[in-house]
Amino acid sequence: MRTATPRRYLMCPPAHFRVTYAINPWMDPTKPVDSALALFQWEDLRDRYRALGHTVEILDPEPGLPDMVFAANGATVVDGRVLGARFANPERAAEAPAHLAWFRAHGFTDVQEPEHVNEAEGDFAVTSTWILAGQGFRSSPLAHDEAQEYFGRPVISLELTDPRYYHLDTALTVLDDARDEIMYFPGAFTPGSRAVLSRLFPGALLATADDAAVLGLNAVSDGRHVVLPRAATGLHAPLRDRGFEPVPVDLSELHKAGGSVKCCTMELRPATP
Ligand code: ARG
């Protein structure tokens, strides 16, 4: 039987969310976005987390930063230590200092501004043994070394090849961090990285192209409940077979910017005693 452990998340409401530029293939600035619906869907996600017993902290959204709702990109927090982000695209650059200011104002004392480009939990996935790190589109491989040095945890570099899966968290989900269990879409990775994943995670749930294409891997697990995009129905049976409970949510409007559940959710991992 699977056990959920209570989590602490940081989220940022999509008050200024729009698609005004295109920095990934999902974004089309000519397509309309329903802002009221985006906010309603985001609130539903926040409320689900709270109903599952998790704590959700709120980061104030800033005008002129339409992608700030994707809070997972703003910093990586492991053992209570914060590694800030450095965005690949100038459109999002100002999100990084906004995140750093939040951490400094909320009692985090180990806060590091990074030297190399890293889009935080967009490309860093944390299990108890490893930090899995994506590169190829956004984060620099140099940021992988930087994260390893800062957190003192082994970082496994993985190379992404498909522009639709430009962040690691669009292609891979940590299902049980304590037991190093993941699911991923092999087609998003180079052959070498696929081989690394199958060596490290021989029992992983392999997602189909269809579930990946609805951003089904952009999911958040507490060890038992897997909150995932509503359209990723193909993942329900394999998740249930492994003892997880799928919790579908609809984030159709944020999907138009290439993001979903995980992108909206930064995990604040406490110092371990
Ligand atoms: N429009 C955003 C970008 O392209 C989406 C970010 C999604 N975040 C994520 N963690 N994958 O940067």
Active site residue 167: yes
Please tell me the predicted confidence (pLDDT) of residue 134. 98
The H or E element containing residue 240 is helix 236-241
The radius of gyration computed from the CA coordinates of the chain, to the nearest angstrom, equals 17
Please tell me the predicted confidence (pLDDT) of residue 207. 98
Q: What's the Cα-to-Cα distance from 244 to each of 45, 237, 239, rounded to whole Å?
A: 18, 9, 5
Please tell me the predicted confidence (pLDDT) of residue 272. 79
Distance 273 CA to ligand 1 centre (A): 33
Q: Which ligand 1 atom lies nearest to the CA of residue 167?
A: 11
Low-confidence ranges of the chain (pLDDT < 50): none
Distance 241 CA to ligand 1 centre (A): 30
Task: Report which of 54, 63, 64, 94 is spatially closest to residue 266, judged by C-alpha positions.
Answer: 54
Please tell me the predicted confidence (pLDDT) of residue 1. 80
Pair of tokens at residue 3: 């056990």
Pair of tokens at residue 149: 């040095």
Give the Cα separation of 258 and 5 in Å (integer).
28
Residues sharing a CB contact under 8 Å with residue 226, sequence separation 6 or more, in sequence order: 173, 175, 219, 220, 235, 239, 244, 245, 246, 247
Hey, what amino acid is at 49?
Y
- The pTM for the full model equals 0.98
* 3-class SS letters over 52-120: CCCEEEECCCCCCCCCCCCHHHCEEEECCEEEECECCCHHHCCHHHHHHHHHHHCCCCCEECCCCCECH
Q: Which ligand 1 atom lies nearest to the CA of residue 89?
A: 12
Please tell me the predicted confidence (pLDDT) of residue 85. 98
Mutate to test the pocket of ligand 1, among 10, 24, 68, 168 (most ligand atoms within 8 A of CB): 24
Q: Which residues line ligand 1 (CB under 6 A)?
A: 23-24, 27, 67, 70, 72-73, 92, 122, 167, 169-170, 257-259, 262-263
Q: Which ligand 1 atom lies nearest to the CA of residue 24?
A: 4
Give the Cα separation of 119 and 135 in Å (integer).
10
Active site residue 263: yes
> Nearest-5° angle of CA 53, CA 224, CA 166?
100
